[in-house]
């Protein structure tokens, strides 16, 4: 359960009183998520008819100095009509506050549920929503570089130690070494750049039927190659959880939906196989690092790196899926 910090009722009530949202009525810890602590908050609302919010307490993996970028981006996208939660600013106008030495933000609650077996209609809608996010962020003035690009993957892989990858699977070290060298040598520099979400997995999209109601968890967002974000979303949506089964119909729907809003250039389309290998390497390297550095009996469930090793092999062997 991802509530790492206990907050007492009095402490929560005093915190909520700093916002113009009515008095606290209830607060329930949210089990999903591994990075930060989240509560579903109910208040009386400004007019007494009730209102719901998400309270996020940023734990050590989110850098507080980066919050103005993440929260400012959410406000920017929300103001431009994207289904992104806005932050509720406190009475002094701040988008986050300090509580018990940690940063906390009150965030608009959005309806919807995360799907685990996406349909073609849902994949299409996510593609469209991602393209709208890219276009809506073009005039966002802040900058954050991607610390999980090729140099970041190398850092994580080095952090796995000389035989760490092979302890996960005997063939993993050789695969990663070969692919990482090749990705570093050929990673494109001249494709269009924009804000990217960089982690748009199904658990970060709230849906009702085929409608995208919420894009959440912007804590990896940064400026990078726009088409790389489509590749990340492809890797996240177009396979089963094990990475063994590719769903061509979801792939066509995701990319088709994206292109109804933002057509890819010929260079972006040609780069997709490489970008998808990079996307697979991104999650393979972070999952492998966490796999080796998280005790087996820890509070959080470790995510399987091999599910992304299989995607990496698939993208390497089947570049034609993007033709």
| 87 belongs to the binding site for ligand ATP (CB under 6 A) | no
| 198 belongs to the binding site for ligand ATP (CB under 6 A) | no
| 214 belongs to the binding site for ligand ATP (CB under 6 A) | yes
Give per-residue burial for 25-57: e unless 16+ CB within 10 Å, then b: eebebbeebebbbbbebbbeeeeeeebbbbbbb
Scan residues 184-213 and list those touching ligand HSE (CB under 6 A).
199, 201
Residues contacting 317, CB < 8 A, separation 6+: none
User: Can you spell out the DSSP letters for 162-228?
Assistant: TTHHHHH-TTHHHHHHHHHHHHHHH--SSS-EEEE-S---GGGEEEETTEEEEE---TT-EEEEHHH
Q: Which helix (H) or strand (E) holds 99?
A: strand 97-99
Q: Which of 7, 27, 38, 230 binds ligand ATP (CB under 6 A)?
A: 38
CB of 265 to ligand ATP, least distance (A): 31
Bridge partners for 239 per DSSP: 246
Asked whether the CA dihedral 295, 299, 303, 306 is positive or negative, the reply is positive
Q: Which of 287, 288, 291, 311 binds ligand HSE (CB under 6 A)?
A: 287
| Closest chain position to ligand ATP (CB) | 33
CB of 17 to ligand ATP, least distance (A): 21
Residue 33 vs 188, nearer CB to ligand HSE = 33
C-alpha dihedral (125, 131, 133, 135), degrees to nearest 10: -150
| 246 belongs to the binding site for ligand HSE (CB under 6 A) | no
What are the C-alpha distances in Å from 192 to residues 14, 170, 199, 224, 322? 46, 38, 19, 8, 18
| 234 belongs to the binding site for ligand HSE (CB under 6 A) | no
Q: Are 311 and 239 in contact (CB under 8 A)?
A: yes
| 202 belongs to the binding site for ligand ATP (CB under 6 A) | no
| 190 belongs to the binding site for ligand ATP (CB under 6 A) | no
| 109 belongs to the binding site for ligand HSE (CB under 6 A) | no
| 257 belongs to the binding site for ligand ATP (CB under 6 A) | no
| 104 belongs to the binding site for ligand ATP (CB under 6 A) | no
Residue 174 vs 300, nearer CB to ligand ATP = 300
Residue 108 vs 203, nearer CB to ligand HSE = 203
Q: Which of 12, 17, 30, 247 binds ligand ATP (CB under 6 A)?
A: 30
- Interface contacts to ligand ATP, rule CB under 6 A: 2, 30, 32-36, 38, 54, 85, 107-110, 114, 203-204, 214, 216-217, 219
């Amino acid at each position: 359960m991802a509530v790492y910090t206990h907050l007492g009722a009095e402490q929560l009530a005093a915190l909520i009183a700093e916002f113009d949202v009515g008095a606290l009525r209830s607060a329930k810890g949210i089990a999903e998520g591994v990075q930060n602590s989240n509560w579903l908050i109910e208040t009386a609302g400004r007019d007494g008819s009730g209102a719901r919010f998400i309270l996020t307490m940023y734990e050590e993996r989110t850098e507080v100095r980066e919050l103005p970028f993440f929260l400012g981006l959410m406000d920017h996208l929300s103001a431009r009509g994207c289904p992104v939660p806005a932050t509720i600013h406190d009475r002094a106008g701040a988008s986050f506050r300090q509580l018990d030495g940690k940063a906390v933000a009150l965030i608009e609650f959005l309806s919807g549920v995360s799907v685990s077996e996406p349909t073609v209609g849902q994949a299409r809608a996510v593609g469209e929503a991602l393209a709208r996010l890219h276009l809506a962020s073009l005039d966002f003035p802040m900058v954050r570089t991607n610390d999980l690009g090729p140099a970041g993957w190398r850092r994580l892989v080095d952090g796995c130690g000389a035989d760490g990858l092979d302890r996960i699977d005997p063939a993993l070290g050789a695969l990663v070494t070969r692919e990482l060298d090749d990705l570093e040598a050929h990673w494109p520099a001249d494709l269009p750049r924009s804000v990217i979400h960089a982690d748009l997995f199904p658990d970060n999209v709230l849906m009702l039927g085929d409608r995208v109601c919420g894009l959440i968890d912007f804590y990896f967002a940064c400026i990078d190659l726009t088409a790389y974000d489509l590749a990340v979303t492809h890797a996240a949506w177009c396979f089963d959880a094990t990475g063994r089964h590719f769903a061509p119909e979801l792939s066509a729907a995701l990319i088709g939906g994206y292109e109804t809003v933002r057509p890819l250039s010929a260079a972006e389309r040609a780069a997709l196989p490489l970008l998808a290998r990079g996307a697979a390497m991104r999650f393979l390297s972070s999952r492998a690092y966490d796999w080796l550095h998280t005790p087996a009996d820890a509070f959080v469930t470790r995510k399987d790196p091999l599910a992304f090793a299989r995607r990496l092999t698939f993208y390497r062997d089947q570049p034609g899926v993007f033709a």
